[in-house]
Chain A
Amino acid sequence: GENVEQHPSTLSVQEGDSAVIKCTYSDSASNYFPWYKQELGKGPQLIIDIRSNVGEKKDQRIAVTLNKTAKHFSLHITETQPEDSAVYFCAASERDDKIIFGKGTRLHILP
């Protein structure tokens, strides 16, 4: 089955700097890669996703890149703000199959 590895487990960046979280997956059949943000005491919220027919997708300060050959995908957050502090999860799945999650990255934005 699918296995998703996520790095780093903890990341601290200065406010205004960029943050990058990296993931790898094992199943070459996976074609859907969502990213979730989880704030304290809440359920994970979908923030961006990418499908295998594109290599990059942007939404304001957030971007995701996908390298299907290497089975790598990454989340980039630019101009970080205090409200970006949260736990971020990457995930992978075939289109209508179950989603498998990485173990999460705790992002701290330092003032």
Chain B
Amino acid sequence: DAEITQSPRHKITETGRQVTLACHQTWNHNNMFWYRQDLGHGLRLIHYSYGVQDTNKGEVSDGYSVSRSNTEDLPLTLESAASSQTSVYFCASRGSGGEQYFGPGTRLTVT
């Protein structure tokens, strides 16, 4: 069965370090998204991609970057981790029919 996976599931890092969160989908979807979830804010869009070599900024993109070198993967990089980036991160992919599927999430703690 097709699926979307994220790794690691939990990560603790120190302020200032670079961190990369992985997202891999086997749906063969062109559209992929990264969200962060914080209490009181729901799901906020960080970056998204509509295909290989395409990346776009979402509403909370500062301090984050993504790259899309193939259809299956959209890694999210925190250039210099800050305590404000402590959150739960969800990756999602969406097919042409409109249905969007989420990964299980990565809980990131920046100390």
Interface residues of A (CB under 8 A from B): 6, 32, 34, 36, 41-46, 49, 51, 89, 93, 95-96, 98-104
CB distance from B28 to the nearest CB of A (A): 15
Contact A89 B42 (CB under 8 A): yes
A34-B100, A43-B102, A44-B90 known; A89 vs B43 contact (CB < 8 Å): yes
Contact B101 A49 (CB under 8 A): no
Chain A residues positioned under 8 Å from B58 (CB to CB): 98
A34-B99, A99-B100 known; A43 vs B105 contact (CB < 8 Å): yes
Contact A49 B99 (CB under 8 A): yes
Chain A residues positioned under 8 Å from B40 (CB to CB): 103
Chain B, range 37-79, C-beta contacts under 8 Å to A = 40-43, 45, 48, 50, 58
Partner of A49, one of B43, B45, B50, B98: B98
CB distance from B33 to the nearest CB of A (A): 7
Is B84 an interface residue, CB under 8 A from the partner? Answer: no
Interface residues of B (CB under 8 A from A): 31, 33, 35, 40-43, 45, 48, 50, 58, 90, 94, 96, 98-105
Given contacts A45-B102, A46-B100, A103-B42, 13 further A-B contacts (CB under 8 A): A34-B98, A34-B99, A42-B104, A43-B90, A43-B104, A44-B102, A46-B101, A49-B99, A89-B43, A96-B50, A96-B98, A102-B42, A103-B40
Max chain B CB contacts within 10 Å: which of A43, A51, A101?
A43
CB distance from B21 to the nearest CB of A (A): 14
Determine the distance from Cα of A103 to Cα of B45 in the docked complex, in whole angstroms: 12
Partner of A98, one of B48, B96, B103: B48
CB distance from B101 to the nearest CB of A (A): 7
Select from chain B the residue with minimum beta-carbon distance to A6. B42
Determine the distance from Cα of A46 to Cα of B50 in the docked complex, in whole angstroms: 20
Determine the distance from Cα of A43 to Cα of B104 in the docked complex, in whole angstroms: 5
Max chain B CB contacts within 10 Å: which of A45, A93, A102, A103?
A103
